[in-house]
Structure 1
């Protein structure tokens, strides 16, 4: 078959996707779109690209098979819908949408389209996350009932451009209260449970570091699952502190997992079936040979060469495999919305003092 033709929206994060897609022989990035002509010119000078566009519709007209959306989050759904209406496959950066209405419109567009939609929640492809997921499937944690994820990333410098104008990050993630960017934490943890959220509660610390920001310095979102299990998500994108964009923990009746909080620490598990006592932690890496595919152990790319600890490589590889071989993608519209909707519902919860908000039944949207 001919190469899968890829079009990318956005030159900044798009450069990372350009690199990842070009690692594979059966695909070719043929077009890039950005509203900034100067950014397009710079991109073309650095990369081998056939076509550049400043209008999204022109990109969709350029005979591409897949569109990769690295645009601002509030246009993800609208751009995805336009591509799906043309039966163009979509790989969309997080979040899938920013409003309940856009979630419904996106859901219906996916159902109507012959193309596939996948949300690019790359954190689900991090090596340690995959290992824990495989151990959960083997029953090593027993009945799991609590998990947590934290995304602590001081990105105040991204809230204004060089001319002092507010960016989409300032407006869409910091311009309202709630867990506005929580899928990197929720996606992996919810995937371990493989069940739906039932209720969402959300509270915030107030705005202190930058008092004029609407979003709280730290936001806590609690997701109670249908089984009664609990997931706690912490989001903080302004506090003056070192980054920790990938903290996770998991607790079950037979084991627990703790990821590092400080650089240099190791991922640890306590497992009833492996540990010699209730106080013995085991380095997760010591169990890789039993619970990871070979390519995750001896990675074909350096983790420093593929963003997010190598997860971008595995996510793009998986997406290509699904599209080329006509297999269902792994983070489909159901998972995309299950990872995205709690953050949207948290906006209602936090302004009402943390009251629980019911998660919608997506089956009723069909």
Structure 2
């Protein structure tokens, strides 16, 4: 065959049953996974990159999902000027009551929804809401976000925003049609170190950036098997049914912002490989021996311990993203930025920067930090640390989002970022299942990446929202 691998995949991806028959034998990790990219002739209805919605001096917010992260999000929003917490929803009535009691001292009197699995729809149908904050299991993210936008609401949705390529397109098409923001709450883009690196990149410290590395390496064995940590064991369900880079956005998001992905460059194709599971299956067996609750998980094909996905961009640059939640290793998102004039590496901490063969000394690092610390950290960094949330980055994210909405400014993350960063999950699943063949990455911007402007967190405008400590 004279076609190269990528041309072959393009052709066979459209050839239906013949392709499936030929490739099924290769799909050892989790059975046959069909090509996730149907022919998508998307015509952009409206470019949401750089879009500034009308000002909202008061942002009326409703929350769906009040588990670990949801409750923390309510607590953070309770400390931001110009926010009215108008509605709360969770299946568990006690969680709704807890959140309502938390916000009462600030004068919030939210409507409450609970118990009924469809109660969230009643919240979305409220006419006195501007923003819906979705913090639910992954499978509900896209349906809830789409429903919310269709009911005239902006959306903040937890990571990943979508599980399938079709869901990614649903988010894009709905946001463009309704002209409602769909921001994935990728908090790691607001980590102090990542913001410093982004500002340094904007100021030319690294020269032209040619390569980036991100990851989510976090030993979650005890968490995912905990009956208390993840309501209805939804994350264990995900890890026991899929094989790939299932949680790419924490490591990928900041790298994409630094490399201007969707805003000057675009992902071209991806290759992904996973090793086997050597831990989770055995843990399920061990727990099931003493507790029948875990018996349904025995014998399942758990996600491999390490997934490594590599991406090449249209401008010939590369990105590596890793995912491992079962190895006993220190936490890391890597965060390596490599350019023609310099390098950054966050993990293992402390973060380091280099201009040549050696890392900067402590004194040199301090000088760089003083020179390049971005305005958002100078303004509310200390307040963010007091409020908390992964060291303050969660609060920075929420404060910045509300400040942009109140001042009619574009959000730092748009629907194209939500779709693209999330798409690495299903694309990696397909590649793993097909002997690490490459697969094209959809262009959710429909070509507008060539002219979209890079994000700007210089805070030349806005920044007038107070922190309520």
Structure-1-length-normalised TM-score: 0.90
The equivalent residue for 1:310 is 392
Cα gap change, 1:294/1:170 in structure 2, threshold over 3 Å: closer, same or farther?
A: same
The equivalent residue for 1:236 is 324
- Unpaired segments ≥5 residues, structure 2: 1-55, 282-299, 449-469
- Unpaired segments ≥5 residues, structure 1: 273-277
Who wins on radius of gyration, i.e. which is larger? 2
Cα gap change, 1:280/1:69 in structure 2, threshold over 3 Å: closer, same or farther?
A: closer
Please state whether the residue corresponding to 1:246 is helix, strand or coil.
coil
With 70-79 and 208-217 compared, the bigger mean Cα shift is at 208-217
Alpha-carbon distance in 1 for matches of 2:183, 2:59 = 16
Alpha-carbon distance in 2 for matches of 1:305, 1:245 = 23
- Residues 119-155 of structure 1 show CA distances to partners (whole Å, capped at 9, x for unaligned) of 1111111111111111112222122212111211122
The equivalent residue for 1:287 is 368
Please state whether the residue corresponding to 2:280 is helix, strand or coil.
coil
Alpha-carbon distance in 2 for matches of 1:251, 1:35 = 45
Alignment of 1:2-41 (within 5 A): 3-12=58-67, 13-41=69-97
Instruction: Give, in angstroms, the shift of residue 332 of structure 1.
Output: 0.4
Alignment of 1:242-261 (within 5 A): 242=330, 244-261=331-348
Is the CA contact 1:209–1:240 (under 8 Å) kept in the aligned structure 2?
A: no
The equivalent residue for 1:269 is 353
Alignment of 1:1-366 (within 5 A): 3-12=58-67, 13-48=69-104, 49-54=109-114, 55-62=119-126, 63-160=128-225, 162=227, 167-194=233-260, 195-211=265-281, 212-242=300-330, 244-261=331-348, 265-271=349-355, 278-283=357-362, 284-297=365-378, 299-301=381-383, 303=385, 305-364=387-446
Please state whether the residue corresponding to 2:391 is helix, strand or coil.
coil
Cα gap change, 1:77/1:172 in structure 2, threshold over 3 Å: closer, same or farther?
A: same
Please state whether the residue corresponding to 2:333 is helix, strand or coil.
strand
Instruction: Give, in angstroms, the shift of residue 69 of structure 1.
Output: 0.5
The equivalent residue for 2:288 is none
Is the CA contact 1:223–1:342 (under 8 Å) kept in the aligned structure 2?
A: no
The equivalent residue for 1:275 is none
Instruction: Give, in angstroms, the shift of residue 45 of structure 1.
Output: 3.8
- Residues 341-360 of structure 1 show CA distances to partners (whole Å, capped at 9, x for unaligned) of 12221110011111111011
Is the CA contact 1:288–1:297 (under 8 Å) kept in the aligned structure 2?
A: no
With 318-327 and 353-362 compared, the bigger mean Cα shift is at 318-327
Alpha-carbon distance in 1 for matches of 2:135, 2:366 = 32
Alpha-carbon distance in 2 for matches of 1:215, 1:304 = 37
Please state whether the residue corresponding to 1:191 is helix, strand or coil.
helix
Please state whether the residue corresponding to 1:239 is helix, strand or coil.
coil
Instruction: Give, in angstroms, the shift of residue 159 of structure 1.
Output: 3.0
Instruction: Give, in angstroms, the shift of residue 363 of structure 1.
Output: 4.1
- Residues 281-340 of structure 1 show CA distances to partners (whole Å, capped at 9, x for unaligned) of 244443222212345147232536421221112211221122222222121011111211
Please state whether the residue corresponding to 2:383 is helix, strand or coil.
coil
Is the CA contact 1:66–1:89 (under 8 Å) kept in the aligned structure 2?
A: yes
Alpha-carbon distance in 2 for matches of 1:71, 1:165 = 10
Cα gap change, 1:292/1:26 in structure 2, threshold over 3 Å: closer, same or farther?
A: same
Which one has a larger percent strand, Structure 1 or Structure 2?
Answer: 1
Cα gap change, 1:46/1:168 in structure 2, threshold over 3 Å: closer, same or farther?
A: same
Structure number with higher relative contact order (C-alpha < 8 Å, ≥ 6 residues apart)? 2
Alpha-carbon distance in 2 for matches of 1:214, 1:252 = 37
With 76-85 and 298-307 compared, the bigger mean Cα shift is at 298-307
Cα gap change, 1:310/1:250 in structure 2, threshold over 3 Å: closer, same or farther?
A: same
